[in-house]
């Protein structure tokens, strides 16, 4: 297989050399060129025909956002990974870039890191992102057949919580799903989005400003109520626990799972332990397999799992892992996920109410 051809656009000669050295260690990636500004980078794209571009956010002249805007006009399907600093300003601009069509992002190694640490971080994270983004495919939405979906227990209760897991491409996917949930959505929503600290807080604020539900970054001890959406805090696993007659959020810094903290698997297993068959899980676009084990846990307990389809995913890694594990009930295009969620929640609660009325009549 031919290596992924990468163009590096960054005004820092140190960063350009660091990226070139880190990527040179992989036979799957080839740096075909570098550019010291957005203007030069735009001129090199038609010359080099890269499969993917890495783009610095803060550059003099044509900055990262302006360069990204031009790339999206001229090359709408060309994957772009933004490079930002792990600061509030960097997080704000990164979320803006993602909303404008950036495929993914990386935070630059800290100035405190040694060269060896910086190189290893880039090798571990960036190469995997590049290979995944360059390998995007197409797919279609399907109801999962019995031969694909694994066996599960019958539902014993109505859906009482919606749990969502996502990663690469997730901020835009969440911006499509969460604002479409109705104001009277009858169950709480808990979300794991793979992101570092600062980013999750700003993501929650951005979603809250466009949603009818109250979207907040998770806080330990907060009670779960309908009308709320809780986004897991960066660098903390999020779980739920019974407290009296209610359920509260817990945060911990246990070891990462799948190199992720927060991890979808930990959230999914936690909600299943508390709510049993009353869980609806959704797994959307993202690299890797986080969520597959937790989705199987939900389904084995009698809950339901909806996954995003390949065609609408930035990376069909996490949803595919769920499907391959036999833990998906339905594969949906992104545009249909909120409608499918509302339908399943409403139907389960109506059926439960009907069963209760029949028992009372007897």
Does residue 167 have an active-site annotation? yes
Residues recorded for the chain: 362
Backbone angles phi, psi at 264, to 5 degrees: -65, -40
Q: Of the residues 37, 103, 167, 277, which is catalytic?
A: 167
Please name the residues in contact with 288: beta carbons below 8 A apart, sequence gap of 6 or more: 167, 258, 259, 260, 317, 318, 321
Of 163, 149, 358, nearest in space to 278 by CA = 163
The pair of structure tokens assigned to 318 is 């996490």
Cα–Cα dist 194/264, whole Å: 9
Inter-residue contact 314 to 129 (CB < 8 Å)? no
Does residue 309 have an active-site annotation? no
Q: Of the residues 63, 290, 309, 329, which is catalytic?
A: 290
Cα–Cα dist 232/153, whole Å: 29
Does residue 210 have an active-site annotation? no
The pair of structure tokens assigned to 84 is 């930002």
Q: Of the residues 194, 237, 258, 297, which is catalytic?
A: 194
DSSP assigned state of 122: I
Active site residues: 167, 194, 290
């Amino acid at each position: 297989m031919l290596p992924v051809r990468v163009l590096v656009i960054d005004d820092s000669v140190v960063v350009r050399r660091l990226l070139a050295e880190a990527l040179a260690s992989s036979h799957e990636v080839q740096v075909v060129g570098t550019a010291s500004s957005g203007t030069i980078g735009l001129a090199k794209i038609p010359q080099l025909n890269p499969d993917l571009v890495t783009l610095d956010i803060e550059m003099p002249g044509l900055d990262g956002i302006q360069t990204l805007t031009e790339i999206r006009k001229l090359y709408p399907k060309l994957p772009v990974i933004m490079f930002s600093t792990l600061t509030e300003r960097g997080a704000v601009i990164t979320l803006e870039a993602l909303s404008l069509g950036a495929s993914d992002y990386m935070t630059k190694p800290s100035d405190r890191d040694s060269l060896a640490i910086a190189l290893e971080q880039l090798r571990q994270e960036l190469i995997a992102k590049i290979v995944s983004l360059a390998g995007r495919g197409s797919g279609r939405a399907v109801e999962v057949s019995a031969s694909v979906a694994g066996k599960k227990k019958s539902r014993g209760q109505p859906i009482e919580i919606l749990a969502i897991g996502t990663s690469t491409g997730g901020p835009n996917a969440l911006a499509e799903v969460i604002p479409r949930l109705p104001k009277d959505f009858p169950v709480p929503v808990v979300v794991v989005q793979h992101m570092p600290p600062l980013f999750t807080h700003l993501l929650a604020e951005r979603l809250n400003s466009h949603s009818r539900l109250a979207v907040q970054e998770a806080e330990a001890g907060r009670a779960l109520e309908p009308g709320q959406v809780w986004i897991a805090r960066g660098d903390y696993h999020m779980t739920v626990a019974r407290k009296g007659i209610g359920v509260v959020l817990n945060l911990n810094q246990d070891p990462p799972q799948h190199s992720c903290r927060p991890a979808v698997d930990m959230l999914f297993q936690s909600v299943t332990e508390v709510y049993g068959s009353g869980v609806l899980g959704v797994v959307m676009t993202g690299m890797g397999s986080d969520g597959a084990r937790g989705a199987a846990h939900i389904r084995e307990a009698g809950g339901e799992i909806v996954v995003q389809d390949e065609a609408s995913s930035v990376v069909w890694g996490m949803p595919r892992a769920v499907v391959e594990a036999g833990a998906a009930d339905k594969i949906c295009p992104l545009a249909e996920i909120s409608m499918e969620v509302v339908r399943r929640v409403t139907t389960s609660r109506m059926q439960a109410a009907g069963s209760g009325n029949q028992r009372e009549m007897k």
